[in-house]
Structure 1
C-alpha cells in the first residue's frame, strides 16, 4: 500500500522519542520538585496537594480554558497563594533543577535520525505530547531524547493547550493549528489509546513498539503501521519529500478546537 501524502507529522514524546520509563521519570520528578519546594521553606504537604489537584484539573476540565489556567486555579485551592511568587519560583525549577533529572540518560539515536530525515524532506513537525508540563520542561525532555526542539513548529504544553490526550479536542486543536484536516497528518506514538485517538479525525498512525503501551490489553497491531523506532527511522527514509507542507503553523493557543472536533462528527 502506497503511503499517504502527509502534510505534517505529529510525534508523541514519552515512550516514543524519549525511551524513558514513565513511572521512573515521574518518581524522580515528584521527588525533585518536593525537594526544591522544601529548600525554599514552603509547606510540602499543601504544595503536594495543590500539585495533584492541578494535574487532576488539567485532565478533567473541558471548558475551553488553557491547561495552565486550570492547573493554577486548582493548585491554589490547597496552596497558599501568598506564600511565594509561585509562577516565578516554579519557572526557576523547570529552568534549572528539572534538567538534572535526565542527566546520564541514554537516548535512542534512531529518534533523532528520524526527526532529521523528516525535516530534511520538508515535513512540518508537531510535538503532540501530553500537555501537562510547562514548555521549558518539554524542551528539556526533548534534549534528553537527543532531539533538537527547534525542529518542531508546534510543541504542546500546558500554556498553549486546552485539552489533554486522549480527548479528540486535544488533537482537533493541533490539527487546526496546522490549518489541516485530520487525513493530512501522520501521528507517531506508542500508546494504543492516547496516541491513536487522533484516528477519530481521519489521521494515519505509526505505532512505535519499543515501549508499547496498550491500555486495552488486546489491540491488534496489524490494524496500524508499527515497528521499533529503528524501523520507523528506516521507514521514513523511504518517504518522498513533502509535496504540500502545512504553512503558518500556530505555536500558541487555538480557539477552534471544539468546533474542529464537532466538524468531524465527534465531541471530545
Structure 2
C-alpha cells in the first residue's frame, strides 16, 4: 500500500500539507486561502472531494488562515485542541469541530492520524504522523528543538516534512530585531538548518525515501543553500525543498 504526499505551500506566508491514499486524504494545516488550495490541488490532479478532514498543529495564522472557508465549503471536520481553537479564534460550526488527544490515533477511512506534542510558542502545539497499514508520513514543522518526541517519530517515517527554517549565520547577521532572533532560536521557535540536518543524519531510518524540507524563512534562509547542505548526506533519500510560493509535485510513498 502507498500514500501520496505534497506540500501545497510551506513558509511563514502559509503552510498546508496533503497526505492521502486512493480514496481519502487529510490536510495538515490550511494556512493558504481556500481558492489557492483548490487551484494548487487542481494543478496537481488532486480532488478536494478526497479530503476528509483537516488537522491543526497550532493557532498561528500561517497554519489556519484558510480553515474556516475550507471547512464550511466542503463540510470538513477540523481536528483541533480546545486551546488551539480558543487562541486561534476560528469561527467554525460546532458540528465540524473535533478534538484529538496526543498519542490516540484518529481513523479517517484507511488513514490513521496520530498527534504528539512539540516545543513551540503556541497554546497546545502538536506534530502528526499519518499512516496506513505500512507507510508512515511525518509532519515536523514549527519545532523549537529536536525533543525526544520528534526524534522517536522521525525514526519511523518512510517520508517526512521536516522544518529547516533558518541558517544560523543569516539569522545572526540579518535585519530582525534581537528579541525576534531570540524567539526563533530560543528553544520554542523554529529548527535551524543545522538542527534539521542533525535529525536527518543521526536518526534517518534506512527506508526513508523522501524528505521535504519545509518552512524555510524568506529572510534567513535560501533554498539552494539548504539543498546543497543536505544533498551530500542523502544516502538514497530524495531531498526536496518545499516552496513558499508553489506546490511541490505529488510523491508516491511506498514501503
Q: Which has the larger radius of gyration?
A: 1
**Per the shorter chain, which TM-score range?**
0.3 to 0.5
Greater strand content: 2
Give the TM-score, by structure 1 length: 0.31
